[in-house]
Amino acid sequence: MFDVDGTLVTFEFDVPGAKKALVEEMTRMGIDTSDVSLTSPIQAIIDAARLKVQRGRDDADFAPLKRRLYAILDDFEVESSSKSTMFPGTKKTLLYLRSRSVRLGVFTNSGRRAAYSLLRNGGIFECFDFVLTREDVDTMKPSPAGILKALERFSLPKEEVCYVGDGIFDITAARAAGLKVVSVATGNYTPERLRKEGADFVISSLAELPGILGV
């Protein structure tokens, strides 16, 4: 099971700009943002918005704002995706794993628009049994919800599945879901930091993945 941004493709997402836009939209909608900041994770900002809107009501009250916040993230992601490139060896590795009957899936915090575009432009969309994005779950990583949903698609024991990502949230979510984690040190974090955070394996390129899997 793979992350996309920073794992399969390069991705220069304007995280500070996206957070600022989310907070500004919440303020425009009359939502108190005094307890969030631009250092808060994106999921924490969205969770704060949910709590402010619900106040004892159900998720239906939050749905319109959630769609608006996700649309803002979509705009930032689509803009970034135009500058993205596939990491060397990615497609070759995925095709090799499929040729050896290894099942492949995706769960990413990215939205469907950007994720599908990145995977199709790279010619690897068809490599995967399924692609799940933030639209398919209630909470993004570091919550394990999306990974657990993806596990249902695989219909495999946890012991037979691993999560491949590049970030700390990938490790947190995958370990909470009970999966082993392969971290790709593509630049956002050092190998040492990834190991410290709990990655079971750290590689510098996806070309090393078949060896890790014993394929």
pLDDT for the residue 30:
86
For the entire predicted model, the pTM comes to: 0.91
Asked, for residue 10, whether it belongs to a domain, the answer is no
Asked, for residue 178, whether it belongs to a domain, the answer is yes
| pLDDT tens digits along 103-125 | 999 999 999 999 999 999 999 99
pLDDT beneath 50, residues of the chain: 56-57
Domain final position from 43, 61, 81: 81
Q: How many residues does the chain have?
A: 215
Domain final position from 38, 53, 81: 81
Asked, for residue 157, whether it belongs to a domain, the answer is yes
Instruction: Note whether 113 and 202 are same-domain residues.
Output: yes
Asked, for residue 42, whether it belongs to a domain, the answer is yes
**Is-contact 81 117, C-beta < 8 A?**
yes
Asked, for residue 158, whether it belongs to a domain, the answer is yes
Enclosing domain of residue 178: 90-213
Instruction: Note whether 102 and 31 are same-domain residues.
Output: no
Instruction: Note whether 118 and 202 are same-domain residues.
Output: yes
How many domains does one find in the chain?
A: 2
d(CA 106, CA 114): 13
CATH number at residue 126: 3.40.50.1000
Domain final position from 45, 60, 81: 81
Instruction: Note whether 100 and 199 are same-domain residues.
Output: yes
Asked, for residue 6, whether it belongs to a domain, the answer is no
Instruction: Note whether 159 and 119 are same-domain residues.
Output: yes
Instruction: Note whether 198 and 95 are same-domain residues.
Output: yes
